[in-house]
Every structure is written in structure tokens, then in C-alpha cells.
Amino acid sequence: MYKYDQYDQAMVDTRVEEFRDQVKRRLEGKISEDQFKPLRLMNGLYLQLHAYMLRVAIPYGTLNSAQMHALADIADKYDRGYGHFTTRQNIQYNWIKLEEAPDLLADLAKVEMHAIQTSGNCIRNISSDQYAGATADEIIDPRPYAELLRQWSSFHPEFSFLPRKFKICVIASDTDRAAMKLHDIGIQIVKNDAGEIGARFYVGGGMGRTPMIAPMIRDFVPLDQLVTYSEACLRVYNRYGRRDNKYKARIKILVHELGAEEYTRQVEEEFAHLLDQGVEPPLAELERIKTFFPNPPYDKDASDEIDRSDPDFAVWVDRNTAPHKQAGYAIANISLKPIGGIPGDASTAQMHLMAELAKDYSFDECRVTHAQNIVLPDVKKSDLYTLWQKLDEAGLGTPNLDQIDDIIACPGLDYCSLANARSIPLAQRISERYANNGKSDVLGELKLKISGCINACGHHHAGHIGILGVDRKGVENYQLLLGGSEGADTSLGKITGRGFDEDGVIDAIEKVTDLYLDQKEDGERFLDTYRRIGMEPFKEAIYE
Amino acid sequence: MSDILRFREDETVDHASVTVDAFLEQTNSNAVRIEPGDDARALLQHLDQIKLVEVNFPVFGDGRGYSAARVLREAGYDGEIRAVGDVLVDQIGFMRRCGFDSFEPEKAFDEADAKAAFERWPEVYQPTTDGRTPIWAKRHG
Ligand code: SF4
């Protein structure tokens, strides 16, 4: 994976010192909270309901074991012994003291990590496919391109006060595991007919209160123009994105209001101008970055056989592993969704263990997924059984990837100052309900996502089943959505009808899944059945 | 004028600037003031005659002025570009990179803080018209 050179390290170290100075000026009363707010936000520090929350960037979700160990140490030293992995492939700590934040950032910098641009109206941490580099279905590893864009977007002098936050995702496979089209810019690395690699740009997707699927605005940007084209997309947005209304300020609204065609025309015009401005790094820089992402030294003779004699292990293999490009290897998913647990939470001990396992079994690398799980990308099949035993012992072996209890949930009213309703306890109760009724396994793939308010951090629009917390006359209320999806067949969920209280929404979900089990035809997933029979029968089942 | 922090040797324009609309109607002024909603490109045909462009920041969070400054510099404008209004010390490093070369903040900067802000960053990732060498260029000689 990418390693900092003296330049990258200097940038991160400088940021730590700058922030230390800003905190000092704040504590001395030289700057007001209003003035301090955008500064701390650019360092990922939010003031939440009970304390400061710090969000640490995990670029394109990739970590080595030293970094995972450091994240665990930070949880111990500055928080209450756990961290929370987020839908943006980052980690958050919920109990941070302002005075200690600069030291925490200094600890991060020691392992080439930071919290730069993890919040604020700037270009955020770039996300990618959690199976990058390991999966058989990609044309190339997308992470070097993400790293190129990480450096371009870090401390960008023109784009640090955008109308709103800005999220970029880079993938390189037709199977979209990263909800690419629901980003402000989604980039798919593709190969054209001449066999050249380039970038396909989708601009103006997003969730929030006005969810939109990004339209494609350019099907092929040559690799030596990738930064320039991104710069053009951003400049048009910075100049013309709405600033009169926070809820209309994302680029999706600009693209929607102008129309994709007119937005594209403006981008192309800006792009033509910028091509002469020399903003593009030479291809040699991309080549340099690529050298940090070689194939690990796979054992070419590794056996493709898996001993499935332990039935519990066999279930885990079926559910939580994915095919690898290298014979004899598999991609292993560690579920952070134990029955009744808090989605995405990991304790200090669990983080240390995952770090060790990454080192021992996956060439020192692990990944964070937008579904709030962890991936070990390169595990020898013959090691899977030992790996699973160690995971299971630590409560990390739950075999429920992409099942109804593999819930995505935002922090909700337990932590978040914007929340209308709690997400975490609801997720815990749904997980318990399906553990007790035993239906999780028969339901198969069913993605359930919960957001505590319209901001949609829990991606409820993209859930096969989505839940949205709303405030009804001061009482927590939940709306139910069906039919969302985030993959190549991205679709947005539709609201079933009037909302429910907590018990009510859990009962409604069970009615929905019962109807599916009753109606499903051969091999249909929940989503397929829903698309075939439509909303009506589900409505009847819920509200009859 | 004492509260203007300036990085130029030439003489300051000593009269008030006019709005973009007024400038375009009666083009004998040499000082223009850009508001966030104005299109800096409207000035490009008249750059020869302009000596001062003030870019107003009514609120610091409105970042359109950063693009305005770069658009002017990329078009070859070498007169003064002044950031006025809600200009905070933590932004002036970025502003300088975008082409601003004078600052007239509503609230004066602490001198030491301003100095630190300009000197803090030893390296930059992006090339702009300020002439600093980006990290990638240093890497590849
Ligand atoms: S969706 Fe709303 S409640 Fe949940 S984390 Fe985001 S802002 Fe907070």
C-alpha cells in the first residue's frame, strides 16, 4: 500500500502543528467558537451531543496492521476503549477532549494517518472498492488513482470553502461495491476499445434529503487528464453551486437544475481552459504511486481446496468470503455486526486482533467497507479455518455478510446532534429479532440500512429495506422504505406509507420479509421479488 | 489604508472601486469590486486597464472568491487582487496561493498569526499561478 515520502509526511506534520496552534488560540479565547468551527471541522472534529467526535480518514479504506494497532491504541488512550467504523470507510471516536485532540493527531501522523478534510465543506476522504486489488472482476486496482486524487484534493487552495461537502469515489469494476453513483463524483476506471485505461465520470449523485443517482458526464477521460478534469468539475461547482440554502448546496442540485447536459458543457469549457494551465501531474507520478500497490507475493501453489468438515465454518465461508483473482486465495469479510451488537463498533482488543490477523494472514493489509465491516483481502484458502477460529473466539466470526442483520446504521440520537431518532438500539433489536426467529439465513441477501435523520448517513435510500428516523411532534418515529439498491443496478427506495414507533417498525419489517418468503420464486433475492411484484402487496401486508 | 496587508511594491490605487456592472458600463475606472455572485470572466477583456480587483467575502465560508482570483490570474492579470471583508487569518495562506496579493480584513490580523499563516506550509500539492513548485514536480525533478 501507499507509503508517505518526506513530502507527504511534512504535510501531515504541518497540519498537526497548525491545528495545535488553532486549538491554543481557541482555548486562549483569541478566536470565537464560530471562527473555530470551520477550522476544527477541516480536522474532522465535531461537537456532538455529549462530547467532541473525531473522524479519522482511512484513504480508500486501506489500512496496514501498524495503523490498525494505532487506531486501537487511540481508542484506549483518548476514548473509552472502542472505535466506530463508518459508512465512509473511516473511523470515528465519540468521546474526545478538545485539549487532547492535537496529541491524538500527532499519534496518527506517526503511522501516516490524519483527520484532514474528514468534515467541512471541502473534498472529503476518497472512497473505493473494499475488494480493490484482490477481486477477479476488476480491470485494474483503482487505488493508485484514488491516491493521486487524494494528494490533489488535500489542502486544495481553491476548493476548501465549497458550497457543501464533496465526496469522491473511485472503482474499477462493473460490480459496484462502493455505491459509486451515489457520490458527488463517481469515477469508474475503464478500458476503451483501443485497450487504453481511462476514467468514466459520474457527477451529481448523493443521498441526503434529495437522493439522486449521478448521471454519466464523460465516458472516457485519459489518465493524463484525470486531475485536470476533476478540477474543472469542481471549479464549475464552486462558482455556481447554490449557497443560499444549505439543503440545495450539494452538486447534485446544481447538476439537476442546470441539467446534466448544460453542466457537462460548462465543465468541458473549463476543462479546455485548464488543459493549458499545467495542473496535471506527469504520468510518471501515477506510475510512482502504482509501484506501492504491487500484487503481494502470492503462493502460486496454494491449494484451492477448503476443508468444510466443520459445518459452522462452512457456513461462514459461504457467507463471508468472496472469490479472489489468485487461485488458492479468498477475500475474507469480518462482520462487525454480532447479534445485538452496535453496527461498526470494534473494541480495542478486537482492533488489535484484526491487526494481527491482517499481518499473519493477509500480507499486512485490511480494509474498511462502507457497510461498516472489515475485509482481509488476501487470505490463503488453507488458512481460512484457523483465521475463522480466531475471529469466532473474539466475537468477530458472525456469518451474516449482506444478510438482514448485517445492518448499516448511523450513530443517530445516541451521539449525533442532528438526529431525530435513535438508530443503534433499533439496529440491535432488529438483529436480535432475526436471530430469535431464525429467518436471517432463509432470507439470504437483504440489505437493511438505518439513518437517524434525513441526512442519510446510514444510506437508507439505498437499502433493500431502509429506515428513516423522523420527528413526529417531538416523538421518535420511523419511516420504512423498500426497493433501494446501490450496486450496478442502483435504485432509490420508496416510502411505504405512514411511519411507526420502534416496536411498530420492527413488526412491519417482519411482515415485509414474511411476504417475501411467501412470494419468492426460484433464486429470487428480496430485491428481485420486490421489483417483480411491486410495492402494493407489501403495503397491504404492513397496513392491513 | 493602514489595515491593508500588501505584498506588492507598486503604488496602491487610492480611489474607491466600482461594481462589475458599473465598470462594464463606463469602462474608465481602474478599480473593480467583485461580489461573490459576479462572474470574474466578465472582466477578462479589460484586464489591461485594471490595476485593482477587490474580491469581497461577505462571509468567510463563501469560497467563490477563490475561483475568481484564480480565473483572473490564469488569464494573465498581474494587477492587485485584494481580499476584503470577512477574511480570516486561517484562510490567507490559501488565498495567497489563489492569487490574492493584498488583504483588507474587517478585523485586523494579529501580526504574528498572519506571519505564521504565510510561512507555515513548506510544501504544496497543487500548482497554481503563485509559482510554487508542487510536490509532484519535486519528486520528478
Ligand atoms: S443520518 Fe442524521 S442522525 Fe444519522 S449520523 Fe447522519 S446526521 Fe446524524
Q: Which domains does chain A have, with CATH numbers?
A: 6-109 (3.90.480.20), 134-290 (3.30.413.10), 311-393 (3.30.70.3340), 408-543 (3.30.413.10)
Q: Which of A293-307, A318-332, A479-493 has the lowest mean pLDDT?
A: A479-493
Question: Is A155 an 8 Å CB contact of chain B?
Answer: yes
Question: Is A37 an 8 Å CB contact of chain B?
Answer: no
Determine, for residues A160 and B63 on separate chains, whether the beta-carbon distance falls below 8 Å.
yes
The per-residue pLDDT for A413 is 92
> How far is residue A72's CA from residue A352's CA, in Å, rounded to a whole number?
6
Nearest to B125 among A25, A154, A160 (CB): A154
Model ipTM?
0.97
Q: Which of residues 497-536 of A touch B (CB under 8 A)?
A: none
Nearest Cα residue to A292 out of A365, A356, A237:
A365
Question: Is A5 an 8 Å CB contact of chain B?
Answer: yes
Crossing angle (nearest 10°) for helices A101-110 and A6-27: 170
**8 A C-beta contact, residue A342 and residue A424:** yes
Rounded to a whole number of angstroms, the CA Rg of chain B reads 15
Q: What is the pLDDT of residues A200-216, one digit of tens each?
A: 999 999 988 889 999 99
- Note down the domain range covering B24: 5-140
**Pocket, ligand 1, Cβ cutoff 6 A:** A 410-412, 416, 418-419, 451-453, 455-458
| A108: confidence class by pLDDT, cuts 50, 70, 90 | very high
A401 pLDDT higher than 90: yes
- The residues near A9 (Cβ < 8 Å, ≥ 6 apart) are A109, A112
- Which atom from ligand 1 is nearest to the alpha carbon of A417? 8
pLDDT, greater one: B1 or A178: A178
**pLDDT (average), residues B77-82:** 97
Average pLDDT, chain A: 95
Cell of B131: 509559482
**8 A C-beta contact, residue A153 and residue A168:** yes
A487 pLDDT higher than 80: no
| DSSP per position, chain B | -TT-EE---SPPP-S--EEHHHHHHSTT-SEEEE-TTS-GGGGGGGGGG--EEEEEESSTT-THHHHHHHHHHHTT--SEEEEEES--TTTHHHHHHHT--EEEESSPPPHHHHHHHHHS-S--SS--TT-PPPHHHHHT-
The per-residue pLDDT for A429 is 97
Give B3→chain A minimum CA distance, Å.
Answer: 19
Cell of A99: 485539549
Q: What is the sign of the dihedral through the CA atoms of A20, A24, A27 and A31?
A: negative
The per-residue pLDDT for A253 is 96
- Which atom from ligand 1 is nearest to the alpha carbon of A469? 3
B101 pLDDT higher than 60: yes
**pLDDT (average), residues A439-444:** 93
Determine, for residues B66 and A278 on separate chains, whether the beta-carbon distance falls below 8 Å.
no
Pairing of strands A62-64, A475-482: unpaired
B31 pLDDT higher than 60: yes
Determine, for residues B66 and A151 on separate chains, whether the beta-carbon distance falls below 8 Å.
no
Q: A-chain residues within 8 Å CB-CB of B135?
A: 7-8, 11, 151
The per-residue pLDDT for A32 is 86
A454 pLDDT higher than 80: yes
Neighbours of A527 (CB within 10 A): 22
Q: Which of residues 266-325 of A touch B (CB under 8 A)?
A: 273, 277-279, 281-282, 284-285, 288
**pLDDT (average), residues A430-455:** 94
Q: What is the pLDDT of residues A137-190, one digit of tens each?
A: 999 999 999 999 999 999 999 999 999 999 999 999 999 999 999 999 999 999
Q: What is the pLDDT of residues A13-53, one digit of tens each?
A: 999 999 999 999 899 988 888 888 888 988 889 988 888 99
| Ligand 1 centroid to residue A409 C-alpha, Å | 9
- Which atom from ligand 1 is nearest to the alpha carbon of A451? 1
Domain count within chain B: 1
**pLDDT (average), residues B69-95:** 95
Determine, for residues B63 and A121 on separate chains, whether the beta-carbon distance falls below 8 Å.
yes
Q: In the sheet that B102-105 helps form, which strands lie side by side, from edge to edge?
A: B5-6, B102-105, B80-85, B52-57, B31-34, B18-19
Which CATH number does the domain housing residue B55 bear? Answer: 3.40.50
Q: What is the pLDDT of residues A340-376, one digit of tens each?
A: 999 999 999 999 999 999 999 999 999 999 999 999 9
**8 A C-beta contact, residue A89 and residue A33:** no
| A488: confidence class by pLDDT, cuts 50, 70, 90 | confident
Cell of A358: 491482517
The per-residue pLDDT for B97 is 97
Nearest residue of chain A to residue B117 (CA atoms): A18
Question: Is A235 an 8 Å CB contact of chain B?
Answer: yes
Q: What is the sign of the dihedral through the CA atoms of A518, A520, A523 and A528?
A: negative
Question: Is A230 an 8 Å CB contact of chain B?
Answer: no
Partner residues linked to A475 by β-bridges: A472
| B1: confidence class by pLDDT, cuts 50, 70, 90 | very low
Q: Output the residue whose Cα is nearest ligand 1's atom 2.
A: A453
pTM score above 0.80: yes
The per-residue pLDDT for B24 is 92
3-state secondary structure of A71: helix
> How far is residue B6's CA from residue A409's CA, in Å, rounded to a whole number?
51
